Amino acid sequence: MQCSRLPQVALDQMIEGARILEADGFGPKVYLLQDGNMLKVFRRKRLFSSALFRPYSKRFIDNVAKLQTRGVPTLQVLRFHRLPAPGMTAVLYRPLAGETLRQISEKQGFDWQQVLPALTGLIHRLHQSGIYFRSLHLGNIVVTPDNQMGLIDVADMRFFRGPLPKHLVKRNLQHFARYIAREKLNDTFPMQALERAVLAS
């Protein structure tokens, strides 16, 4: 996908009335636009880095395309922009319809046992497809209206030619477990059952 320059006036018009979903010390990172699409802003934080030659925004776009090739539901990239500020790019995309597992788990009457087989299946499928998603957690897994599980926020991802080796499978599960602990979900989420099922599959 070609990168087109987005003038400041056009950017201001695009984000007018938008809701900021994510920000850091440098400013907004993700906007929910009034038309329902999203604009994700990428900043090169160091003057000299690998992002100078392959921006994180390009990795994001490439990862979306690779997931689609492997049949994993994900967002749809619409446009790729270079912003007026040096080292800044942005990706306009249509979000993946549905709710995250984190949102679903907060509903009254929710039981993890109902979704554990599907979650195990998703993680096993990713690993068998050679996909190492370091940011795999409940906030980045979406259950779509047709009851499939897909992925969002896919910039931090590596692809291998064959299935992931066992040590990367275990490392991926460790990242997931740290998220569960950080979100104080250890008492409710069946982490040990998930680990056993993924490692046995």
- Examine the domain organization and report whether 53 and 40 are in the same domain: yes
Residue 68 structural domain: 3-94
- Examine the domain organization and report whether 61 and 86 are in the same domain: yes
- Examine the domain organization and report whether 74 and 165 are in the same domain: no
- Examine the domain organization and report whether 59 and 114 are in the same domain: no
The residue among 44, 59, 94 that closes a domain is 94
- Examine the domain organization and report whether 88 and 107 are in the same domain: no
CATH of the domain at 25: 3.30.200.20
- Examine the domain organization and report whether 113 and 157 are in the same domain: yes
pLDDT of residue 45: 62
- Examine the domain organization and report whether 82 and 136 are in the same domain: no
pLDDT of residue 52: 47
Closest listed residue to residue 150, CA positions, set 39, 35, 70 = 70
User: C-alpha angle with apex 115: 113 to 117, nearest 5 degrees?
Assistant: 85
Distance of CA 143 to the CA centre of its chain: 13
pLDDT of residue 71: 93
pLDDT of residue 54: 62
The residue among 57, 79, 94 that closes a domain is 94
- Examine the domain organization and report whether 78 and 170 are in the same domain: no
Query: How high is the mean pLDDT in each 10-residue block of the chain (201 residues)?
Result: 91 96 91 97 65 74 96 96 92 97 95 95 96 96 96 94 95 96 94 95 76
Q: Which helix (H) or strand (E) holds 24?
A: strand 19-24
The residue among 47, 75, 94 that closes a domain is 94
CB atoms within 10 A of CB 199: 13
pLDDT of residue 47: 47
